[in-house]
A and B are shown apart, each in its own frame.
Chain A
Amino acid sequence: MISGAAVLLWGVAALLGTAVLAIAESRRSDSGTRLIYGLTLGISAAVLMVLASRIADNPVTPSTVVLPLGLPWIGAHFRLDALSTFFLIVVNFGGSMASLYGLGYGRHESAPHRVLPFFPAFLAGMNLVVVADDAFTFLLSWEFMSLASWALVMAHHREQDNARAGYIYLVMASFGTLALLLAFGLLAGSDGTYTFDAMRAADPTPFAAAFVLVLMLLGAGSKAGLVPLHVWLPLAHPAAPSHVSALMSGVMTKVAVYGFIRVIFDLLGEPAWWSGVAVLFLGGLTAVLGILYALMEKDLKRLLAYSTIENIGVIFVSLGLALAFKANAMPSAAALALTAALFHVLNHSFFKSLLFFGAGAVLTATGERDMEKLGGLIHRMPFTSFAFLVGCVAISALPPFNGFVSEWLAFQAILQSPDLPQWGLKVMVPAVGGLLALSAALAAACFVKAFGITFLGRPRSAAVELAHEVDRYSLAAMFILAALCLLAGILPGLVIDGLSSVTLPLIGSRMPVQMAQPWLSIVPIAASRSSYNGLLVFLFIAFSASAAAYVIHRFASHALRRGPAWGCGFLDVVPSSQYTAVSFAQPIRRVFGTFVFRARETVEMPAPGETGPARLNVEMHDVIWETLYLPIGRALDFATDHLNHLQFLTIRRYLTLVFLFLIVLLLVLALWP
């Protein structure tokens, strides 16, 4: 019997082989595209099958493989346990859906030779990160994943802003890897044991543990998109082709979450209680700021990228709760919070992939990402719009879809927190609960806007009038994901029970078995406390809606007349008089924007008698970019300008400098305790 880890490595090898093949094949654009996406679809689906059969047997037995690669005295260690199995399912499911979508979408690709080789390589990199079992392999795979995705971001490098997006992504990714490198250095200790097994056994000092937490928040957080390290994400994710955007947003951010969970929950040992406070704070901040940025956005793909930041915040809030409970020896509550986080990981990979596919379909059909030029697509792309609508409802955390279930579990976890002893947590948790609720409500507003402006109303440009429904492969990928959004929402017990094998080794506890509950309800603690039954809610809504429709159609008038829309006596024939993305967000901008974005509105009225139009100018600032990143950039410029002199010294001066530096180093060594 071949072990799970070995199967996975064969899968990775096959993906890498596909990448090499793609270099040769991508010249023949159409058949090559089909061949490559077909192969990646086949490989990731096969890996998915193997993994799905493994998660079924509870508990999952870890399997390991050691290959004589990498550093000679360690080799490359790979391990497949419950946590990595779960994340591999997310990765490979997302990968297979993106490949399926790519079968159709890829035909419109203008530069296939810049996409095809890197797509399987990117998938292989993500797979490798999740199975890596030593620091060296982990970091190498992490960099491989970053670079492959960077290449995909740069696929259309001639387009405006893409080069800048790629540059910022590269800088932030290097920064993140540096933080991870230091974190693993601290974990390895002074004797330099780089296998995860040794790190698990080692017991770092509280000081070192604190540093590891901060470094992981920087390293994994920058990849996942935690505020204020998120700046690259809304630039880079939309710049890539849409199925790659889906992979980056839906899957790669989850790999970053995996890295965080692996180190903080698994390798680091017992957490300190304040680590929960730090993670909760960052998570709550990320959730609210992410969705506020998304609300202000009028580019569809950037809106989705900002919403990814919000969802990462939601996941980190649940992770912070799990840390706080774990530190206070409340294993069942910790299991609930961790389940909520992992459930949201799965959910977000479903609906964010779906939404990016939908945005890609709109892009194919109209060539537009700017919502101000879209509108009325529901008539021209009925299937895409239906699938996109499902994604919008699911991501807005509305029942009976899946997004609601994970938010509900997070709220249930928050309600466990008054038993926490520390005051910092007692004050932080309800405030974060409020932030979570706020971000959920704002997410609904944001996706009303995304769907309403893009698909409803009247067409705002000529391109939209000529739009056609997209190909069958793309639709198949979207509908599979939409169906899963509903399924995970009405049968959450299945997912929760599947996740129990993940929480058990990390927390030492699990949520109660859900599938044994009557009527397939989910009951986190006790039925008298809280329960939710997505299936029944769905059936009730379906029943009441059809009953109402039946009664109406049986007894009420059937008469229907089409007429022009009622404009209160004023006939507005120009589609540009409709509400736009910016005007839709205006009330929310007035409430939150003056504080968060320093938004200002000024009206320029023409003088009486002039025929020029009046103008409303809106001025907004990206406060984080302006207060954090621009000063760093300026400081760097300043430093490089002034250090420039060092390039042009005489040999004597260089020797003096070397000598002085040596003395300083010796002094430091002498004074070091």
Chain B
Amino acid sequence: MAVILELAVQGAQMALVLLLAPLLTGFVRKVKARLLRRQGPSLIQPYRDLLRLMRKEVVLADNASWLFRVTPYLIFATTWVGAALIPTFAAGLTFSWTADLIAIVALLGSARFFLALAGMDVGTSFGGIGSSREVMIASLAEPAMLLIVFSLALVAGATQLSTVAAFMGSPEVGLRVSLGMSLIALVMVAIAENARIPVDNPSTHLELTMVHEAMVLEYSGRHLAMIEFAAFLKLLLYVSLISCVFLPWGLASAGAGLESLAPGVVAYVGKLAVCGVLLAVFETAIAKMRVFRVPDFLGAALMLALLGTLLLFVSRSL
């Protein structure tokens, strides 16, 4: 009985991230529009977009291969698995030990690998430009992310997210310089990974300035729906990650009863909202930078993360 219940909670988490992901993106868009004194699309517009895309026919380039058609499902699946493995409303779920934070980062790397390949499949210059820039951004963002993971792991003594979250919620954390650096670096990485301003513009229509959108230029219909959905999930994944590690309050602890799950869900939705507003404010306040300024931006994240890790090697209490 207990096993079924645990599996049900795990299933609920998988369903929850799936349900909330488009809403989060819709929310960020709405807040951004309101900040610009526009009305903005409704909150459920992303769901409508997904449904509309699914109903449309796919226009496939003449020389697209099987890889091009399989990739959307692979990207969606890996991102979904990654998002579902991060503690959202409760820590220590049944399968939370399947992959630790390093593995989750690598899962996102798998998704990106296939997306970059799909960008090159048709053989247009736009796909190539997107893929080559994406791997350049990733080659800086991924090491920064892993160094952040190192810092967290050194502080909490684990790379297992449930353990990290539990530790961060306990009073022994205190204020640490290294964690502050990690937080800033993590936010920078999250912005780059999710193709947000100032690294990339999710709503641009000028192909030469795009990174993510240039890679998926050839996608349409249900394939595009899957890719869009994966992008929504990725944003949710990073917000969940930041809130689970740095705002661990309200997270139902491992083995807690069903009654503590409801406040966990409420707290989770609240955290999403706060992070969404912050993201929207940040994006409105800043301009997109040139592609070759991005290495500086990510280099700063890398250095911050490295500094945080080095501090922890010097003294465990910093």
Interface residues in chain A, defined as those with a beta carbon under 8 Å from any beta carbon in chain B: 375-376, 378-379, 382, 389, 393, 396-399, 404, 408, 411-412, 414-415, 417-418, 426-427, 429-431, 433-434, 437-438, 440-442, 444-445, 447-449, 451-453, 456-458, 521, 527-533, 536-537, 540-546, 548-549, 552, 555-557, 559-568, 572, 575, 577-579, 583-588, 590-591
Are A448 and B117 within 8 A (Cβ)?
yes
Task: State which of A378, A399, A546, A565 has its C-beta within 8 Å of the C-beta of B218.
Answer: A565
Task: State which of A389, A451, A566 has its C-beta within 8 Å of the C-beta of B61.
Answer: A566
Give CA–CA (A548, B73) in the complex, Å: 7
Residues of A within 8 A of B80 (CB): 544, 548
Q: CB within 8 Å of A: which of B55-109? A: 55-63, 65-67, 73-74, 76-78, 80-81, 95, 97-100, 102-103, 106-107, 109
Are B313 and A426 within 8 A (Cβ)?
yes
Are A378 and B65 within 8 A (Cβ)?
yes
Task: State which of A530, A563, A585 has its C-beta within 8 Å of the C-beta of B62.
Answer: A563
Summed over the interface, the residue pairs from A and B with CB atoms below 8 Å come to a total of 282
Residues of B within 8 A of A447 (CB): 113
From known contacts A379-B63, A448-B117, A545-B74, infer whether A529 and B159 are also in contact, taking CB-CB under 8 Å: yes
Q: CB within 8 Å of A: which of B108-126? A: 109-110, 112-113, 116-117, 120-126
Task: State which of B60, B95, B163 has its C-beta within 8 Å of the C-beta of A529.
Answer: B163
Residues of A within 8 A of B59 (CB): 561-563
Min distance, Cβ B259 to any Cβ of chain A, angstroms: 25
10 contacts between A and B (CB under 8 A): A378-B66, A411-B146, A431-B306, A441-B140, A444-B113, A447-B113, A449-B135, A548-B77, A555-B54, A579-B127
Question: Does B282 have its Cβ within 8 Å of any Cβ on chain A?
Answer: no
Chain B: residues with Cβ within 8 Å of the partner, total of 85
Are A564 and B139 within 8 A (Cβ)?
no
Min distance, Cβ B29 to any Cβ of chain A, angstroms: 24
Are B98 and A521 within 8 A (Cβ)?
yes
Give CA–CA (A541, B310) in the complex, Å: 35
Give CA–CA (A566, B78) in the complex, Å: 28
Interface residues in chain B, defined as those with a beta carbon under 8 Å from any beta carbon in chain A: 54-63, 65-67, 73-74, 76-78, 80-81, 95, 97-100, 102-103, 106-107, 109-110, 112-113, 116-117, 120-129, 131-133, 135-136, 138-143, 145-147, 150, 153-154, 157-160, 163, 207, 217-218, 221-222, 225-226, 291-292, 295, 302, 306, 309-310, 312-314, 316
Task: State which of A442, A556, A562 has its C-beta within 8 Å of the C-beta of B225.
Answer: A556
Are B57 and A560 within 8 A (Cβ)?
yes
Are A579 and B142 within 8 A (Cβ)?
no
Give CA–CA (A458, B64) in the complex, Å: 9
Binding site of B, secondary structure by majority: helix, strand, loop or mixed? helix
Give CA–CA (A131, B226) in the complex, Å: 54
Give CA–CA (A536, B98) in the complex, Å: 7
Task: State which of B107, B124, B310 has its C-beta within 8 Å of the C-beta of A565.
Answer: B124
Are B58 and A433 within 8 A (Cβ)?
no
Residues of A within 8 A of B309 (CB): 430, 433-434
Residues of A within 8 A of B74 (CB): 541, 545
Residues of B within 8 A of A588 (CB): 132, 135-136, 139
Are A532 and B217 within 8 A (Cβ)?
no
Which residue among A414, A563, A566, A585 has the maximum number of chain B CB atoms within 10 Å of its CB? A566
Residues of A within 8 A of B159 (CB): 411-412, 415, 529-530
Residues of A within 8 A of B128 (CB): 457, 578-579, 583-584
Q: Which residue of A lies closest to B97 (CB)?
A: A531
Residues of A within 8 A of B112 (CB): 444
Residues of A within 8 A of B58 (CB): 557, 559-561
Give CA–CA (A559, B78) in the complex, Å: 26
Are B67 and A456 within 8 A (Cβ)?
yes
Q: Which residue of B lies closest to A403 (CB)?
A: B106
Task: State which of A530, A557, A567, A590 has its C-beta within 8 Å of the C-beta of B158.
Answer: A530
Are B56 and A557 within 8 A (Cβ)?
yes
Leading 9 A-B pairs by shortest Cβ distance = A579-B128, A559-B57, A457-B123, A587-B136, A452-B120, A545-B77, A445-B135, A441-B142, A556-B54
Residues of B within 8 A of A543 (CB): 77
Give CA–CA (A378, B122) in the complex, Å: 11
Are B124 and A566 within 8 A (Cβ)?
yes
Task: State which of A427, A456, A562, A586 has its C-beta within 8 Å of the C-beta of B123.
Answer: A456
Residues of B within 8 A of A449 (CB): 135
Are B122 and A457 within 8 A (Cβ)?
yes
Residues of B within 8 A of A566 (CB): 61, 124, 217-218
Are A564 and B61 within 8 A (Cβ)?
yes
From known contacts A531-B97, A579-B131, infer whether A430 and B77 are also in contact, taking CB-CB under 8 Å: no
Task: State which of B147, B153, B218, B316 has its C-beta within 8 Å of the C-beta of A437.
Answer: B147
Task: State which of B124, B136, B163 has its C-beta within 8 Å of the C-beta of A572.
Answer: B124
Min distance, Cβ B200 to any Cβ of chain A, angstroms: 13
Give CA–CA (A445, B140) in the complex, Å: 11
- With A417-B313, A566-B218, A567-B124 given, name 14 new contacts (CB 8 A): A378-B65, A389-B67, A404-B106, A430-B313, A451-B117, A452-B121, A529-B163, A532-B102, A541-B77, A559-B57, A562-B61, A567-B126, A577-B125, A591-B136
